[in-house]
Structure 1
């Protein structure tokens, strides 16, 4: 099977999950989004579960690529860390939006399909390690508990940023991501 076409189909599955949700993920929709002949997606991924697995694995690959790119910029202090975290959150409303919408849809599917959870778990688990290392590199007095609070706050912000409802964004302080990340670090690491 053609690896380029396979990736095109997996990217199309992510696009469908982002635009139409889990109910919209069909072989025909993936074929349309990938601009391939009907039956191609079914040939590569014979079942809906295979489509879900393909999308989840692609999300994991894209996450690793994003994380590897971010790892080259190690924050040297609190301000640099806050700026890096704000940039990650901005990505949620920008180029990362389709991937994160698809990831949210896959998380909902994983509640009913434990095998899918096993594919997705390294994404969230990796954030805890990476964000703890970033906080340590920034010279903050890190404990595992404090690092987890920062990571959980960032994760909790994602659905609100994806929904982009102005009142909720303002209530959570997410209408100013630079201020949000500075305030978050100040709350967890006063001083």
Structure 2
């Protein structure tokens, strides 16, 4: 196994540990165990807790960018893209998103981490605004921000999975949620 492969394996294991055990459970020993590597390996690659958290943040960005997001074809395509992103959060991207939320909480206590976490969220705002433009909607900064904030607000509820909350928020049908969100912000389709 090459150095980069081992590094990625350790970063992926660190995401799993942070997602599963929270910030208090994130130790070099726990990452070694999750990665199935000899004790001390994670500390060799990421000597401090700060280095480990930075590695997790960077890996979360890489994994997020790997999610296919085709340019939406019209309003229906945009709604489908949004529903797919939310579905990823509740499915294969669950641990990445849990780790990201833990990073956000950690950033509130560790100013050095805030710029890394901020860059992830800022990129998300720009990407979702561009998707709305590509769909041909009459985008304003406020409308674009409202859509992005609504998607972000949905994430903790999807992760918690409370059926009553999901139903109350309309998150029990992600396609309908995305269509309704666009209609709330942009009005009914023409």
Q: TM-score, normalised by structure 2?
A: 0.95
In 1: Cα distance, 2:14 partner to 2:139 partner: 39
Structure 1 runs (4+) deviating above 6 angstroms are none
After the TM superposition, which residues 49-64 of structure 1 pair with which residues of structure 2 at under 5 Å, given as runs?
A: 49-64=50-65
Moved more, 132-141 or 142-151: 132-141
SS at match of 1:74: coil
Q: Counterpart in 2 of 1:153?
A: 150
Deviation by residue 1:53-103 (Cα, 9 ceiling, x = unmatched): 11111112212222xx31xx1112111111110011000111100100000
* Distance in 2 between residues matched to 1:53 and 1:145, nearest whole Å: 31
- Which residue of 1 is the match for residue 43 of structure 2? 42
Matches within 5 A, 1:99-178: 99-178=96-175
Aligned residues: 187
What are the ranges of 5 or more consecutive residues in structure 2 without an aligned counterpart? Answer: none
Q: Deviations over 1:5-31 (max 9, x none)?
A: 111111100010111111110011000
Structure 1: gaps (5+ residues): none
What is the distance in 1 between the residues matched to 2:139 and 2:51?
A: 41
Q: Aligned Cα RMSD in Å? A: 1.1
TM-score of the superposed pair, with normalisation by structure 1:
0.95
